[in-house]
Amino acid sequence: MQSVAAALERLGDLAASPTISRLANVFAGAGHELALVGGPVRDAFLNRPTHDLDFTTDATPDQILRLVKPISDAQWDIGRAFGTIGAVMDGETVEITTYRADSYDGETRKPDVVFGTSLEDDLLRRDFTVNSLALRLPAVTLIDPSGGIDDLLAGVLRTPSTPEVSFGDDPLRMLRAARFTAQLGFRLDSDTANAMDGMSESIRIISAERVGEEISKLLLADNPRAGIEVLMQSGLAQIVLPEIPGLQLETDEHHHHKDVYQHTLTVLEQAIGYEKSRGRLDPAGDLIVRLAALLHDIGKPATRKLEPGGVVSFYHHDVVGAKLAKKRLRALRFDNDTINAVARLVELHLRFFGYTEGAWTDSAVRRYVRDAGSQLERLHILTRADVTTRNRRKADALGFAYDDLEARIAGLAEREEIDAVRPDLDGEQIMVILGVTPGPEVGEAYRYLLEQRLDDGPIGAEEATRRLLAWWAARAEVPPTP
């Protein structure tokens, strides 16, 4: 957190930038108000980088468009019905929205859009006081009608109006509260937390897409654990991610196992650590890794079995969990690539643990790489993160074993181009050798040669041809099943 003086200096520098000063002067020259609002002002106090430039004004959407066209490279009005016009100025994206004074019916999240005339009134209808700050331009005057600066300094999330009114207007704000605790490291004030607890059911009127977007933003924050804990404490998780509360399995005096919920949060934190330390994925965070870490054990409640001798088993929870992950992510309208990648990681997350039980052959290592496919680096991260034992000797042994596996993968990759495992003959060559046309037989032959490649590594075209012809002859001798 910066001092108020330092934040104001930073805001002054921001206001003096060519894009903002030019925009401010154009609006002032036309007799309209303009203010930088929300995130950019808040982030100046938090010493965080500014990614978006959001403005608010008393000008109507038509007037905004007329003013920005001569000074921008591109414009769009997809949000015109809600008063928002977007533009690109000198490579920077800006969004300008007419003051709002909406009303809600309490049945849906869609408001009756009403344009307002006052900056202060517009700010008071926003989600949290820390986002209800504005910098009036070109005068560079800070506007704070709800005590947002005090809440910033205290690290508190509080609504400008009563939380019952705010969340009643827009229940999505409850998910945003969880997300901001993860992003900003703030805590909820008691009234806000109590209101979320009592109003969690109203989140059901929010579209699945918007819920999924907020969960994604939460998981990509610096500390997603804090946001997940807010979802759990408020009851929102039971509605939007019911598999996570389901991880709080009951125990009894005879059967003991790790707290699966706490284990999951630790795996998520450790996966983020590996993301950063390995440096091979998006430095802004990898959503697929984080979703897989959060969901990797959701098959355990359905597969939990109390065994004799005080043992709890979860046989096949990887396979069951992969199906449940697909179902949940589809319900939240994630894209198919993300759904399939996460489900694959959940399905494979236990595969490595067989490596410690006995040396894998090169064939087993090739199959591990083949099955992971494009998700191999993410599987490395998830598997390493899944080791949460407090037994240092056991943790070290698992870590060394995985180091060994990665070294073997690297060695095979260098010798055999393992990341692109293909048979030694392609489909065209198979058809010529066997004298067949495109059809199911070509696919069968291709799969046979792929298995040979996985078992023995590169065998060359001559040996592959010999094996293919022998397989084809043997196949012809086997009578069809009646």
As a whole number, mean pLDDT of residues 232-246 equals 97
Give yes or no: residues 209 and 324 share one domain.
no
Confidence of residue 256 (pLDDT cuts 50, 70, 90): low
Contact 101, 90 (CB under 8 A): no
Beta strands 134-137 and 92-98 are unpaired
Among 397, 420, 443, give the residue marking a domain's end. Answer: 420
Confidence of residue 249 (pLDDT cuts 50, 70, 90): confident
Q: Is residue 105 assigned to a domain?
A: yes
CA–CA distance from 36 to each of 10, 23, 57, 134, 437 (Å)? 13, 11, 9, 6, 67
Give residue 253's pLDDT.
Answer: 47
CA distance linking residue 195 with residue 239, whole number of Å:
16
Contact 194, 232 (CB under 8 A): no
Q: Tell me: pLDDT of 482 over 80.
A: no
| Sequence letter at residue 96 | I
Residues 174-222 pLDDT 10s: 999 999 999 999 999 999 999 999 999 999 999 999 999 999 999 999 9
Give yes or no: residues 190 and 229 share one domain.
yes
Give yes or no: residues 349 and 469 share one domain.
no
Query: Alpha helices of 187-316 — where are they, by DSSP H?
Result: 190-199, 208-219, 224-234, 236-240, 260-278, 287-295, 300-303
Residues 66-114 pLDDT 10s: 999 999 999 999 888 889 999 999 889 999 999 988 656 556 556 677 8
Number of domains in the chain: 4
Among 219, 241, 263, give the residue marking a domain's end. Answer: 241
Give yes or no: residues 102 and 193 share one domain.
no
Q: How far is CA 35 from the centre of its chain?
A: 31
Tokens at residue 476, please? 């012809």
The pTM of the full predicted model, rounded to 2 decimals, is 0.84
CATH number at residue 20: 3.30.460.10
Q: Is residue 482 assigned to a domain?
A: no
Among 119, 154, 189, give the residue marking a domain's end. Answer: 154
Contact 225, 273 (CB under 8 A): no
Give yes or no: residues 217 and 344 share one domain.
no
Q: Is residue 271 assigned to a domain?
A: yes
Residues 415-460 pLDDT 10s: 766 556 778 888 888 888 888 888 888 888 888 888 888 788 888 8
Q: Is 469 helix (H, G, I), strand (E, B) or coil?
A: helix
Contact 450, 421 (CB under 8 A): yes
Give yes or no: residues 414 and 437 share one domain.
no
For residue 480, is the peptide bond before it cis, meaning its omega torsion is within 30 degrees of 0?
no
Give yes or no: residues 56 and 74 share one domain.
yes
Q: Is residue 79 assigned to a domain?
A: yes
Give residue 255's pLDDT.
Answer: 46
Give residue 254's pLDDT.
Answer: 44
CA distance linking residue 188 with residue 43, whole number of Å:
18
Contact 235, 200 (CB under 8 A): yes
| Sequence letter at residue 372 | A
Give yes or no: residues 14 and 101 share one domain.
yes
**Domain boundaries, position 391:** 250-420
Q: Tell me: pLDDT of 478 over 70.
A: no
Q: Is residue 162 assigned to a domain?
A: yes
CA distance linking residue 59 with residue 82, whole number of Å:
13
Give yes or no: residues 301 and 389 share one domain.
yes
CATH number at residue 266: 1.10.3210
Residues 128-168 pLDDT 10s: 999 999 999 999 999 999 999 999 999 999 999 999 999 99
| Sequence letter at residue 44 | A
Q: 10 Å Cβ neighbour count for 161?
A: 14
CATH number at residue 177: 1.10.110.30
CA distance linking residue 215 with residue 73, whole number of Å:
33
Give residue 87's pLDDT.
Answer: 96
Give yes or no: residues 322 and 279 share one domain.
yes
Give yes or no: residues 58 and 181 share one domain.
no
Give yes or no: residues 149 and 160 share one domain.
no
Q: Is residue 223 assigned to a domain?
A: yes
Q: Is residue 235 assigned to a domain?
A: yes
Helix (H) or strand (E) holding 56: strand 53-57
Contact 83, 111 (CB under 8 A): no
Q: Is residue 405 assigned to a domain?
A: yes
Give residue 251's pLDDT.
Answer: 54
